[in-house]
Structure 1
Amino acid sequence: MNILMICTEKLPVPNIRGGAIQTYIGGVAQLLSKHHKMTIIGRSDPELPDEETVDGIRYIRFDSQGVLDIYMSHIVPYLESSREVYDVIHIFNRPKMVMPVSSVRPDARIVLSMHNDMFNPNKLSKQEGDAVVERVETIVTISNYIGSEIVKYYPQAESKIRTIYSGVDLSRFAPWKQSQSALRERDSIRAQHNLGNKKVILFVGRLSRNKGPHVLVRAMSELKHTDAVLVIVGAAWYSDNHISDYIAYLRAMAEKSPIPVITTGYVQASEVHKWFCAGDVFVCTSIWEEPLARVHYEAMAAGLPLITTARGGNPEIIRSNNGVIIQNPEDPSEYASHLNSMLSNLGGARQMGLQGRKLVEEHFTWNHVAGNILDVWSRVKAASVSSVDEEQPEERNE
C-alpha cells in the first residue's frame, strides 16, 4: 500500500528536537516501510531539507511556526494538487486535520492516532467531532485512558477505537547490570556530575507545574537517605533552555533541599538515555491527567523501578510488580514513603526494574508497535475491498 503519515505542527520528524509523537513515528517508520511505500509530512526545520528521501521513506516538510492553521494552509493545497494516490492517510493527534484533508482527498481511508485528549469540547466542537468520528476508519489511542475520554464525549466512536501503546529502542535503553555499554554510560555520567555511588532518584520530562517535579523536590525533606541525590532532567520545552518562572521557582526550592538536587536543563533526545543508565529509581510526578508519558517505557527498558501517579493513562503501565502508584500526586509524603522503602532495599527495587524490562521486551518494543499499526492498516484495506465488492451489482444469468 501507499501510506501517508501526517505529523503535528509542533516539532519535526525525525525527532531532532525531541517530542513523544515524533519519537513514536521515528521508532516505527523504518519498520513500516519494509511493508509499504511511506511518505511522512512534518514541520520544517532549519537543520532539515524541505523534501528528501531517506532509507526509502519520503519526507515532505512545511512551515508551521508551531501553528496548526499555518501548517494546514500548506498541507491541504499540496494534497489537492498532488497526483499521488494514498491507500491510507494516517493523521497524528489532530482531529482538526481530518475534515480539511478529507475535503481534498474524499476517497482516502483515514486513520487517526490520538496521543492527547484533543476531542475535549474545549478543543473541538461537537459538530466537528461528530464529523471526524464518522469519517475516520480507526482511532488509534496511546492508552485506554485516551480512548475512554473520546468515548465519553462521542459514544459512537467506541467501535473504532484501538489502543496501541508506545514503544522504545531496547538497544539504546538497557539495564546497566546487564549491559557493558550501559554500565560505561552510567560510570561516565556519574563521574561528570560527581555522583559517585549515590542513590540517584531520576525525573525526566518537561518542567511545568502540571508535570509536578516541585512536589518531588519537597519530598526530599522527608527522605531518610542522605546518600541520595535527585536529578531533574528537562526544560520548559523541547530544545528550549530558557528559564521560565516555574523553573526559577523549582531551582530556588532545590537550593534549599536537604538532599542534593541537580537540574540538568534541556538534554538532547540522543543523549537522554545516559541519564536513565545513571539512575536507580525513576519517578513520574504528573499532576494532570497524563495520556501516558513515554518516559515510563524508557525507564522500564533501562531496568528502573517506577513510581508514577494515578493520573490519566499512567497506571496502565504498572504491571507485574514493576513499580508503585502515587494516589495523591500533590502529597510529598507519599513520594517520600515509597522512595524511602525502595532506597532501603535497592536489591528489591532492581528486581522491580527488571520486571519492567521484561514487560518492555514482551509488549513495548517498536516491533510490537509497528506490528499493531500494520494490522490496523491491513484491516482498513480489507474493509475498503469489502465495501467495493458490496457496491458491485451481482451478475445475472439471462
Structure 2
Amino acid sequence: MCSEKLPVPPIRGGAIQLYIEGIVPFLIKRHQITVFSIGDPGLKDHETVNGVEYCRVHAGSKSEYVQLVSQQLAARHFDIVHIFNRPKSLRSYYNASPGSKFILSLHNEMFAPHKISRQQAIFCLETVQKVITVSDFIKKSVEKNYPPAAGKIKTIYSGVNPDEFYPVWTEKAEKIKQEIKGKYGVGNGKVVLVVTRFSEKKGVHLVLAAMEQVLKKHPQTILMVVGSKWYGNNRVDDYVSHVYRLAKNLPEKQVIFTGFIPPKQVTRFFSAGDIFVCASQWQEPLARIHYEAMAAGLPIVTTDRGGNAEVVEGYGNGIIIPQYDDSNDFAWAINYLLENPATALAMGKRGRKLAEERYNWGRLAGEILEIYDSLGDY
C-alpha cells in the first residue's frame, strides 16, 4: 500500500515509491505481489509487469484514496497487507480485510502527537504484526511516545541498486561528467552536488551562502543543484525565488540549477559530482540521497539532523558538520575536501563499498522477507 501522493513506479520521484520499486523484484521471487498506488496519466490503471500486479486508483484526496483501496481489499484476499507511512489509514484497511496480517513501514515521524491521535496510534500499534522504520531516529521517536510497542519495531535501512551508479573514479563517470558540464556550459572545476527539493528545511540557501566563501579559495568550483520545488514540476514559490536571488551573488557559470530531473536520469548527475552535500535543517528521517551518493562514490557532507548521521558517523564516508544551520561550517567542510583530494577519494570508496555490501535493495528485501516469514502460516 503506497502512500497517496505519487505513483509506483516512481515516474514523478518519491522516496517511498523508489523503495517499493527497489524491493518488489526480490519479493516476487517468493510471493505474489500486488502494489496499490495513486493513478497517473503516464501509467495504466491496472497492469502486471514482471509478475508484479499494479493497481492504481484515481482519487482527489487522501480519504478518497483510502476508501477506494479499501473497497478493493474487501473484494479480494491478501495474506499480508504492507502499509507505507500511513498509520491512520490502518483502521480502514483492517476493517476491509480483517483476516490479513498487517505490517507498517514508517518513513517519517507519523506517530508525532500532531499527526495522529493517541487512540488511532494505539489501535495501529496493537493491530500490526511489525513496524519497520528507515532509521533508529524514527524507531526511537515511536518508542518514546508508545513504549509498549518497542518489541514490534525494527529499523531496516534503505538502499539503492549500486549497478545503476558509476563511481566517480571510473572512465564512464568521467565521460558522463564531461557531457553534463558541456550541456550546462561550465568549466572544468570540481563539482559540489546538491540533489534536493527546494524547501527551506532542505537548506539550499545555506549551501549557496557557503559557496561564496568556497569560491574565494577555489574560484573554479561549480555548485550544481539538481531538483525542483516539487516532484515532477518546476513551480516557483517565494522560497525558490529567494534561492535564485541568492545565486546572483555567485558568478553565473559557477552555479547551475537543473530543475526537475526524472528519477531514472538523476543517477547520471551523481556521476558528475565531486562532493555531495545534504543540508537538511529539519529532523530528517534519513534522506535516501545519502545512499545514492555512496553508490556513486562521492564523499558526503551532511548534517546531524534526524537519522542522517546514522549512515555516515563512524563509517569514514563523509563529514558531519558541527553546526547544521551555519553556512561557515558547510564552507569549511567543502574546502577541506577540495584541499584533500586523497581523503575525499578514500571517503568515496568507503561509501561505494557500503552501498555494495550493505545499503542495497537485495539486503533490504531480504530483511523484509525475514519479517514475512516470521508471521508463520497465513
Give the TM-score range, shorter chain.
Answer: over 0.9
- Residue number among 306, 311, 315 corresponding to 2:305 in the alignment: 311
Q: Does 1:175 align with 2:148?
A: no
Give the match for residue 221 of structure 1: 212
Q: Does 1:279 align with 2:270?
A: no
Letter in structure 1 aligned against 2:257: T
Question: Following the alignment from structure 2 to structure 1, what is the Cα–Cα distance between the partners of residues 318 and 280?
Answer: 15
- Residue number among 71, 80, 85 corresponding to 1:77 in the alignment: 71
Stretches of structure 2 that go unaligned for 5 or more consecutive residues are none
- Identity fraction in percent: 42
Q: Does 1:375 align with 2:370?
A: yes
RMSD: 1.2
In structure 2, the residue corresponding to 1:340 is in which secondary structure? helix
Q: Does 1:212 align with 2:207?
A: no
Conserved in 2, the CA contact under 8 Å of 1:221 and 1:258?
no
Q: Does 1:29 align with 2:24?
A: yes
The alpha carbon displacement at 1:165 in A equals: 0.8
Question: Following the alignment from structure 2 to structure 1, what is the Cα–Cα distance between the partners of residues 272 and 8?
Answer: 28
Give the match for residue 249 of structure 2: 256
In structure 1, the residue corresponding to 2:82 is in which secondary structure? strand
Stretches of structure 1 that go unaligned for 5 or more consecutive residues are 1-5, 386-398
TM-score calculated relative to the size of structure 2: 0.96
The alpha carbon displacement at 1:315 in A equals: 0.4
Give the match for residue 361 of structure 1: 356
Question: Following the alignment from structure 2 to structure 1, what is the Cα–Cα distance between the partners of residues 341 and 59?
Answer: 47
Letter in structure 2 aligned against 1:11: L
Question: Following the alignment from structure 2 to structure 1, what is the Cα–Cα distance between the partners of residues 277 and 346?
Answer: 16
Question: Following the alignment from structure 2 to structure 1, what is the Cα–Cα distance between the partners of residues 192 and 336?
Answer: 13
Question: Following the alignment from structure 1 to structure 2, what is the Cα–Cα distance between the partners of residues 76 and 85?
Answer: 12
How many residues are aligned here?
374
In structure 1, the residue corresponding to 2:282 is in which secondary structure? coil
Question: Following the alignment from structure 2 to structure 1, what is the Cα–Cα distance between the partners of residues 356 and 73?
Answer: 39
TM-score calculated relative to the size of structure 1: 0.92
The alpha carbon displacement at 1:258 in A equals: 5.4
In structure 1, the residue corresponding to 2:113 is in which secondary structure? coil
Give runs of aligned pairs for residues 98-247 of structure 1, distance below 5 A.
Answer: 98-178=90-170, 180-223=171-214, 224-247=217-240
When Rg is computed on C-alpha atoms for both structures, the one with the higher figure is 1
In structure 1, the residue corresponding to 2:225 is in which secondary structure? strand
Question: Following the alignment from structure 1 to structure 2, what is the Cα–Cα distance between the partners of residues 294 and 320?
Answer: 16
Superposed CA offset, 1:149-200 (max 9, x none): 111111111100111111111111121323x433322221122123332110
Give the match for residue 330 of structure 2: 335
Deviates more, 1:215-224 or 1:274-283: 215-224
Question: Following the alignment from structure 1 to structure 2, what is the Cα–Cα distance between the partners of residues 69 and 276?
Answer: 37
The alpha carbon displacement at 1:320 in A equals: 2.1
Letter in structure 2 aligned against 1:254: A
